[in-house]
Amino acid sequence: MDDAARAAAAPSGRAEPDAVLRLVGVSRVYGSGEKAVTALAGVDLDVRAGELVAIMGASGSGKSTLLSIAGGLQQPTAGEVIVEGRALSSLDARETARLRRRSLGFVFQDFNLIPTLTALENVTLPLELDGDPAREARRLAEVALESVGLEEKHGAYPDDLSGGQQQRVAIARAVVGGRRLILADEPTGALDSVTGEAVMKMLRTRVDEGAAGLLVTHEARHAAWADRIVFLRDGRIIDESRRDDADSLLGPRR
């Protein structure tokens, strides 16, 4: 990271004091020369504890790339990603993986559940991978499943669950162990409208309990659950709205 980026990453008057996630001058370029494609260009973004930020934009605007970089799944070409005060560029592969297991929860459109594991085992797995004792991991997983209304489905396999139930298992896995940053990529895209609203309510509840949330969505009615909506175009933030402004533009949350 160059001197300008370091200066930007340092605490300043414009930085959110309790930001769980900070993107500082983040760019991502694929390819080189004439074939280079800029997916993100100099993005600055803070997400605080207790705040849900929705990312909106047309297909190809950089939404999913931004989320992937925020979660350490991709490296930025330039700029810095800071999670809970730790610059991801300063971590080696093992430390990055550990940070993702302990602090980050991912919710994807296609659920990404392991079909040969039960709901309880899917939620328990990241805790066990992080070295939690089996009994404690099971207890925390049971609490997480109960929080999404699936206490009766511990032993069910993904194929035995509805799409909405699978997504709720994915949310339980994302929040288990008190993860402080929840990253959701079109989490309602494969669900009907009623189930999608229920999933958004669960995400909103977890954020209200103290997590920071970053949501990629193309649905205005789901973005309306957010405290802030950030609009991307061609890899750049072109505008943003706070909740009061968003309610007038998108309509109130249900």
| pLDDT value, residue 248 | 52
CA separation, residue 97 to residues 73, 81, 147, 157 (Å): 9, 15, 26, 26
| pLDDT value, residue 231 | 97
Asked if residue 252 has pLDDT above 80, the reply is no
Q: What percent of the chain has pLDDT over 70?
A: 89
Helical H runs in the chain? 3-9, 63-70, 93-103, 119-129, 134-147, 163-175, 193-208, 220-223, 243-250
- Please say whether the dihedral angle defined by the alpha carbons of residues 230, 233, 234 and 237, taken in this order, is positive or negative: negative
Q: What percent of the chain has pLDDT over 90?
A: 60
| pLDDT value, residue 4 | 41
**Average pLDDT of the residues in 168-187:** 90
pLDDT digits (tens, 9 = 90+) for 60-93: 999 999 999 999 999 999 999 999 999 999 999 8
pLDDT digits (tens, 9 = 90+) for 95-152: 988 888 889 999 988 888 999 999 999 999 989 888 889 999 999 999 989 888 898 9
Q: What is the CATH number of domain 50-69+92-250?
A: 3.40.50.300
User: Domain coordinates of the chain in residue numbers?
Assistant: 50-69+92-250
| pLDDT value, residue 110 | 83
| pLDDT value, residue 131 | 85
